[in-house]
Amino acid sequence: MAPKKFYHDDPAWSDVEPIPQDDGGPYPLAAIAYTDEYREAMSYLRAVMAKNEASQRVLALTEHIISMNPAHYTVWLYRAKTLSALSVPLSEEIAWLNPTALRHIKNYQIWHHRQTIINQLGSPKGESDFITSMLAQDSKNYHVWSYRQWLVQRFNIYTDEELAWTESMIDEDIRNNSAWNHRFFLVFGKSKDAIPSQEIIDRELDYAKSAIRKAPQNQSPWNYLRGAVRHVKLPVSTLKQFALEFADTEKPDEVFSSHALDVLADVYAEEKGMEEQARRALELLAERYDPIRKQYWNYRMGLLGEGRVV
């Protein structure tokens, strides 16, 4: 553990009058019994913020506070402001940030700070590898995936390499929905209305289908499949033959995927004269294959009569 650091006896800080903490009246709620070290460092931070100071010693102070409490957005934001005022080489900041981020992976501030720095640096170099090492610890971390998406967008990394990496994440855990979401983002998300070529659409549908064949109850590729079909404005009946591989309303004892029944219910609801088949699929879901969502399947059955489709 690092030795304790104080400022009141440090000549480099003798010109600063610390601003002591006010917890809120004589009987504050949920107050914290800070350590003396933290309490004093925060008092000096309040003082330098009040004078809007940007200096090397401020950087050192923020680093000290972050080492004690990384979940402190004020310190991060003030550090970013100071860095930008001082024109410090930003690559040094990233080098310092890496081990800090690995220690505190579930932290909003670190990722936002990183985004600010990389944005100013203007290069994503090394970031992919860093993210991969973070995901090795926590493969569904929301902040990490969000940061990756920002990176792709900021530096236009809609590349085959990025797609191959995403595929490797799905290969590792075919149920990792964050990885599926990233794939959708890469392939379909570049702009809201852009529809990819037929070749790419076919590739994507085939990719999701082969994942479903490995584990037919995995909802991630089913959502991907339906999302892709909806995005490129194909009818849901595009998926009919595929869904029939896993379920058939005529063979209620041979159902291998509730999600296939769900697709079939939508397909039949749109198909003329097939309302009874749609109802049958929804009944099988409500009564047998997905009973916890009974109310939802019943709601969908109610829509059938109204001639509406889901």
Among 38, 155, 158, 242, binds another protein (CB under 8 A): 38
Q: How many residues bind another protein (CB under 8 A)?
A: 91
Q: Is 106 a catalytic residue?
A: yes
The Cα–Cα gap between 174 and 239 comes to 20
Q: Is 268 in the site for another protein (CB under 8 A)?
A: no
* Residue 84 near residue 120, CB atoms below 8 Å: yes
Can you tell me which of 28, 122, 126, 235 binds another protein, judged by CB under 8 A? 28
- Give yes or no for residue 23 binding another protein (CB under 8 A): yes
Binding residue for another protein, selected from 90, 134, 205, 228, defined by CB under 8 A: 228
Figure out which of the listed residues 7, 165, 184, 268 binds another protein, where binding follows CB under 8 A: 184
Q: Name which of residues 242 to 261 contact another protein (CB under 8 A).
A: 255-258
Draw the binding track, 102-141, toward another protein (x: CB under 8 A; -: no contact): ------x--xx--xx----------------------xx-
Q: In whole angstroms, what is the distance from residue 69 CA to residue 72 CA?
A: 6
Nearest one of 260, 237, 239 to 249, comparing CA atoms: 260
**Is 217 one of the binding residues for another protein (CB under 8 A)?**
yes
The Cα 283–Cα 278 span in angstroms is 9
**Minimum gap (Å) between residue 162 Cβ and another protein:** 14
- Nearest distance, CB of residue 236 and another protein, angstroms: 11
Report d(CA 117, CA 85) in Å as an integer. 13
First to last CA, the chain: 59
Residue 1 near another protein by CB under 8 A: no
Q: Is 146 in the site for another protein (CB under 8 A)?
A: yes
Dihedral sign for Cα 177, 182, 183, 189, please: positive
> In this complex, which beta carbon is closest to another protein, that of residue 258 or of residue 277?
258
Looking at 22, 161, 250, 306, which residue binds another protein (CB under 8 A)? 22
Q: Which of residues 76-95 bind another protein (CB under 8 A)?
A: 77-78, 80-81
CA 303/CA 297 separation, integer angstroms: 10
C-alpha angle 229-233-239 in degrees, rounded to nearest 5: 35
Taking the C-alpha atoms of residue 150 and residue 148, their distance in angstroms, rounded to an integer, is: 5
Does position 277 interact with another protein (CB under 8 A)? The reply is: no
Residue 51: what residue type? K
Place of tokens 């916890």: 292
Q: Which residues are catalytic?
A: 106
